[in-house]
Amino acid sequence: MLENQKIRPAQVIGPLGEPLTLDSLPPASTTRWVVRRKAEVVAAVAGGLLSVDEACQRYTLSLEEFTSWQRAVDRSGMPGLRVTRIKHYRDQYERQQRY
C-alpha cells in the first residue's frame, strides 16, 4: 500500500527563495492573480507540493491557463507572468527561436 502513496515534500523553495508550504500558498479563493502568486503556484507544482490537477482544482484554473503560466516562467521567468507584457515576451521568445 505504501508504495502507491506519493511522498510529498513538506516545503519547496518559492520563486523569491522563500520556503513554500501548503499553508503559505495563495488562498483557494484567490481571484486577483499577481505575478508573485502565479509564480508560487507554478513553483509548488514544480517542487511536487501540488500536482497539476490539484492546483487546477484548488484555484479553479483551466489546464491551459496553468500551462501558460508554466511556459511563461520557463521562457522569461517571473516577468513573463505580467499580463501587460505577454505580447512583448512572446515576440521576444519567437525572435530567439528564429536565430
- The span from the CA of 8 to the CA of 38, in Å, is 20
Whole-model pTM: value is: 0.79
Mean pLDDT per segment of 10 residues, for the chain of length 99 residues? 66 94 95 95 96 96 95 90 72 74
pLDDT of residue 59: 97
Helices (H), 1-99: 35-47, 52-58, 63-76, 86-98
Q: What is the DSSP letter of 5?
A: S
pLDDT of residue 8: 87
